[in-house]
Structure 1
Amino acid sequence: MARTQLLVLLAGLCLAGSDAFTQRSFQSKSEVLVTVQQDRWFMQRLDHFNGADTRVWEQRYFMNVSFSQSGGPVFLMIGGEGAANPAWMTQGTWIIYAEKMGALCLLLEHRFYGKSHPTNDMSVENLPYLSSRQALADLAHFQTVMTENLGLGDRKWVVFGGSYPGCLAAWYRIKYPHLAHAAVASSAPVKAVVNFSEYLDVVQESLARNHSDCPGTIKMASDTLLELLDYKENYGKITKDFYLCKLLVIRSKMDMAFLLDTIAEYIMDVVQYNNDNREFEGVKGGNMTINVVCDIMANESFGSPYDRYVEVIQRIMKARKEKCIEASYQQFVRDMSNIHWEGPASSGGRQWMYQTCTEFGYFQSSDSVFQPFSGFPLSYHVQQCTDIYGLAYNLSMVVGAIQQTNENYGGLNVQSSRIIFPNGLIDPWHALGINTNLSSDLLAFPIEDAAHCADMYPARPEEPPMLPAVRRDMYEQLTKWLQL
């Protein structure tokens, strides 16, 4: 899941006719690939909760009919806080399931992300149409119309999603049980919280699993960086050490917190996606793992803990092919305040932060004493909401919004059936998810040594040893439910 700062994790009705199903066996693999990765468009309502509002817009989706068999299920992958990636239409665990079960596969891009633009811009006046409630209603309208237009009859629909879309998958089953037969909610933080300080608690635990001294060494390095920031004469050194795009300037506590958070997030990302097979999505830097980070932090030949920390960040940047770090809070606010679809934060930054400020919180502060970083408290995260969206977006508003989210969906008190909740136990997001069975058909799959959404990615020999069995058990469970 993209975090607040890096956000590093979908009108004319254009549908395939019934001939697409009968012709699939005559298509070459390259033809199938082109077919499933082409943009399709669905006429969607702007406001599902105001019958007098007749405005519509074009929502992007993808479709793969290669495995579809008469009477087979329909699999719907839910897009999230970024552009829907058509690579998912031919890869991932759900595609393996689809081939075995004869499923039709659909991927619906989330409103306000990717090419799915419901409004002329992302002004504060338009952003209220960006919410999980509207996104769930998008899914319901999409399913209803597609069922009719494609002649899908009573075929059962199974929804899939990971991270925030994992929440949407669970919530869609909860709110629209007459439409979703079952759901797989991978790494889903279904409990909204304002101060998600537990995120860094899990980061520390995950770093220490095989390297007990690693979090302590990072803590020493982080504290040294904090001390260096007390003196302007160190700004040049810090700029050079961390490959900052511009000479560091600290004018306020927000400037300092932004720098510390930005650098810490490189380590946080490594932990969150440790050893996940994400290359097919175009993600770089997958070779940087917890073991690599902690091996460097333990290697005294690199110098002091601070010097080792610098080495780690430089190595991560090199693996990602990043030239420099933008560490200016003022520039960040300017970018995030740009309301245009071509703006610097339009790929998801402005949109996702709005959702965190108005629905979820999830602010990963350094307030806990059981974590290795310093300098970015809850107040820093909430201040970003105010600086970017206006004075109304303050702590009181955020607290009230998060309470409404949990009242609407139930938080950890899920009342439903036929939902699978896989969670990697290395992943910090599992702290807000379902990790024990709630009933005989609300099933948790905690996965030892696995990271964020690990169950969704293509299998490979290097993955955690539990994953193959978990994928198999999930398949067997879905098979049973589809027979009901």
Structure 2
Amino acid sequence: MFRLIVASIFFSLVSTFSTPIPANYTVFWYQQKVDHFNYNNNDTYQQRVIISTDHWCTDGCPIFFYAGNEGDVFSFANNTGFMWENAPRFKAMVIFAEHRYYGESLPYGDKAFSSLDKVGFLSVEQALADFAELIQEIKSSYPAARQSPVVMFGGSYGGMLAAWFRMKYPHLIVGALAASAPILQFPGLYECNGYNSIVTKSFRSYSEQCYLSIKNSWEAIDRIGANEDGLKWLSSTFGLCKPLTSADDLTAFSGWLQDTFGSLAMIDYPNPADFLEPLPAYPIGVLCSKLQDSTKQDKPLIVDIFNAVSVYYNYSGQRSCFDYKDDSEGGRLGGNGWGFQSCTEMVLPVCTTLNDSMFPLQPWDLVQVKADCLKNFGVSPEELKARWLFGGTNISTASNIIFSNGQRDPWSAGGVLQTYAPSLPAIIIEGACHHEDLRSTGPNDPIPLIRARQKEIMIIKDWIDQYYQAINHLPNEWARDSNLI
């Protein structure tokens, strides 16, 4: 079963991250092709795959497949409770496939990012082909799965992959739930102010003083950091792992703070969560409680900003220093892989040109982006590639894709917010944040979130029923359960 290079490892309620997977599962290492589109390259790498058959009926019952995105696969497996909670109801096998060049699925191992001839195989097309080959291998390795309908799930970039997979390989899956998938956040399709505008609205909805304090902090940081003593003060006040020593460091530090506020807007969930960082329920509200006086100037204001961002980075009180040069969102996402992808196909503009934004004015400069990409990776972005590969807004010929977006999610600015065809429903979830519908149910879940999940379950069941009708096969256990929904 599978092309394994190591023995299977079995786990039960133990995981890399603190939120446990609520099922028994197996980790497989699948020998995957490095290049699916070149017959002169026979290199392979080991792709990490999580599989659970705890609830699978082994008679052609469904397969739930998560399209791994830019991070360790366990981070997504531990934060996609929607799949685990519905696996018993659908009698489904559950699979989480790690994306190439992330987590431990590294072509060329520790040399994965050493040169362009190694990292150049990191692309959407190659990742989708990985998933396609893996699905076919699973159906070959599990004879009882040969007639199993596959439903693909994904959130954020994973949601983009899930949607694009259904467009590219519609014969391999019956449908896809693409949660918070910004497939329209590309040049020419999207107004680059969109992301930061939603972030600003989220903070402002909690407190005008909070919004103004953050808005005023950028010039205060510049004034304080204008000399060596000021840089030392900022480094000491924030307990930075690496001290600020130059104007470039100060720019990086400000960018780090801006990213922090953006991340908080993404994950301002109604229940405590441990996705990017361990956080309380509604963390923006907790942060804004630290920013109640926008009239403070310079150092007193920046001390308040430090106390506020500590809610994000050190709510548990366990962190000894803050690393402003860590761009991996809590060490679980991004890193070198996403930096490379954002310099090739995943060109997702974000800017600030509106005076009411809580962020400093900053246009999106494609010329500078290309220069930086050439310097860092030796490549130049193909900013229109995703549009001609997958159609942009011209997706009405696709089918069976749910596009769900939280109304307060910054990435919804580039999401599909209208129903382009009857089988491409757009579900807008009032008050929700980043792929919140994929998370586990919680005691504080708002009614709109509960209803959105119920609608998604009904649509997925319809896809599966239609599939069984088409192949004239209904698994006995599925047929016996007339009260599935």
- Mark yes or no: TM-score above 0.5: yes
1:96-146 alpha-carbon deviations (Å, 9 max, x no partner)? 222111111111111111121222422222111000100011111111121
> Please, which of 358, 362, 367 is the counterpart of residue 348 of structure 2?
362
- What's the counterpart of residue 179 of structure 2? 186
- What's the counterpart of residue 168 of structure 1? 161
- What's the counterpart of residue 480 of structure 2? none
Shift in CA distance, 412/145, structure 1 to aligned 2, threshold 3 Å: same
- Given that residues 185 and 420 in structure 1 are in contact (C-alpha distance below 8 angstroms), is that contact kept between their aligned partners in structure 2? yes
Structure 2: runs of 5+ lacking an equivalent: 15-19, 467-485
The more displaced of 271-280 and 255-264 is 271-280
- Given that residues 62 and 89 in structure 1 are in contact (C-alpha distance below 8 angstroms), is that contact kept between their aligned partners in structure 2? no
1:24-75 alpha-carbon deviations (Å, 9 max, x no partner)? xxx9989x97984442022211111113433322211011111112232111
Tell me whether 1:264 sits opposite 2:277 in the alignment. Answer: no
Tell me whether 1:247 sits opposite 2:252 in the alignment. Answer: no
The more displaced of 89-98 and 202-211 is 89-98
Shift in CA distance, 260/375, structure 1 to aligned 2, threshold 3 Å: farther
Cα distance in 1 for residues equivalent to 2:434 and 2:332? 24
The aligned runs of 1:176-255 (5 Å cut-off) are 176-193=169-186, 196-251=192-247, 254-255=248-249
Shift in CA distance, 291/35, structure 1 to aligned 2, threshold 3 Å: closer
- Residues matched between the structures, number: 444
- The Cα of 1:481 is off from its aligned counterpart by 1.6
- The Cα of 1:322 is off from its aligned counterpart by 2.9
> Please, which of 122, 133, 157 is the counterpart of residue 125 of structure 2?
133
Q: Percent identity?
A: 26
- The Cα of 1:16 is off from its aligned counterpart by 11
- Given that residues 36 and 86 in structure 1 are in contact (C-alpha distance below 8 angstroms), is that contact kept between their aligned partners in structure 2? no
- The Cα of 1:264 is off from its aligned counterpart by 1.9
Cα distance in 1 for residues equivalent to 2:244 and 2:147? 61
- What's the counterpart of residue 418 of structure 1? 400
Tell me whether 1:319 sits opposite 2:315 in the alignment. Answer: yes
Report SS of the residue matched to 1:420: strand
1:400-424 alpha-carbon deviations (Å, 9 max, x no partner)? x120111101223323111111111
1:171-200 alpha-carbon deviations (Å, 9 max, x no partner)? 000001111110000110112435844211
Tell me whether 1:298 sits opposite 2:279 in the alignment. Answer: no
TM-score between the two structures when normalised by the length of structure 1? 0.82
What letter corresponds to residue 61 of structure 1 in structure 2?
V
Cα distance in 1 for residues equivalent to 2:440 and 2:34? 35
The aligned runs of 1:65-464 (5 Å cut-off) are 65-69=53-57, 70-85=59-74, 88=77, 92-120=81-109, 121=111, 122=113, 123-151=115-143, 152-193=145-186, 196-251=192-247, 254-275=248-269, 277=271, 279=273, 283-287=277-281, 289-299=283-293, 305-319=301-315, 321-327=318-324, 348-374=334-360, 378-379=364-365, 384-390=372-378, 393=379, 397-398=380-381, 401-415=382-396, 416-464=398-446
Cα distance in 1 for residues equivalent to 2:123 and 2:284? 34
Aligned CA-pair RMSD: 3.3
TM-score between the two structures when normalised by the length of structure 2? 0.82
Report SS of the residue matched to 1:364: coil
Cα distance in 2 for residues equivalent to 1:236 and 1:90? 38
What letter corresponds to residue 42 of structure 1 in structure 2?
Y
Cα distance in 2 for residues equivalent to 1:217 and 1:34? 41
- Given that residues 26 and 50 in structure 2 are in contact (C-alpha distance below 8 angstroms), is that contact kept between their aligned partners in structure 1? yes
- What's the counterpart of residue 457 of structure 2? 475
Cα distance in 2 for residues equivalent to 1:37 and 1:28? 7
Report SS of the residue matched to 1:466: helix
> Please, which of 35, 42, 57 is the counterpart of residue 47 of structure 1?
35
Report SS of the residue matched to 2:342: helix
Shift in CA distance, 326/382, structure 1 to aligned 2, threshold 3 Å: farther
Structure 1: runs of 5+ lacking an equivalent: 1-10, 18-26, 337-343
1:151-178 alpha-carbon deviations (Å, 9 max, x no partner)? 1122211000001010000000000111
Shift in CA distance, 230/412, structure 1 to aligned 2, threshold 3 Å: farther
- The Cα of 1:282 is off from its aligned counterpart by 8.1
- Given that residues 302 and 308 in structure 1 are in contact (C-alpha distance below 8 angstroms), is that contact kept between their aligned partners in structure 2? no
- Given that residues 22 and 84 in structure 2 are in contact (C-alpha distance below 8 angstroms), is that contact kept between their aligned partners in structure 1? no
Report SS of the residue matched to 2:131: helix
Shift in CA distance, 478/35, structure 1 to aligned 2, threshold 3 Å: closer
- Given that residues 73 and 155 in structure 1 are in contact (C-alpha distance below 8 angstroms), is that contact kept between their aligned partners in structure 2? yes
What letter corresponds to residue 391 of structure 2 in structure 1?
G
- The Cα of 1:314 is off from its aligned counterpart by 3.2
Cα distance in 2 for residues equivalent to 1:294 and 1:51? 56
Shift in CA distance, 84/52, structure 1 to aligned 2, threshold 3 Å: same
Shift in CA distance, 34/430, structure 1 to aligned 2, threshold 3 Å: closer
What letter corresponds to residue 438 of structure 2 in structure 1?
M
What letter corresponds to residue 305 of structure 2 in structure 1?
Y
Structure having the higher helix fraction is 1
Shift in CA distance, 314/383, structure 1 to aligned 2, threshold 3 Å: farther
Shift in CA distance, 376/287, structure 1 to aligned 2, threshold 3 Å: farther
What letter corresponds to residue 12 of structure 1 in structure 2?
R
Report SS of the residue matched to 1:129: coil
Cα distance in 1 for residues equivalent to 2:255 and 2:363? 10
Shift in CA distance, 426/192, structure 1 to aligned 2, threshold 3 Å: closer
The more displaced of 376-385 and 284-293 is 376-385
- Given that residues 259 and 327 in structure 1 are in contact (C-alpha distance below 8 angstroms), is that contact kept between their aligned partners in structure 2? yes
- The Cα of 1:278 is off from its aligned counterpart by 6.8
- Given that residues 222 and 372 in structure 1 are in contact (C-alpha distance below 8 angstroms), is that contact kept between their aligned partners in structure 2? no
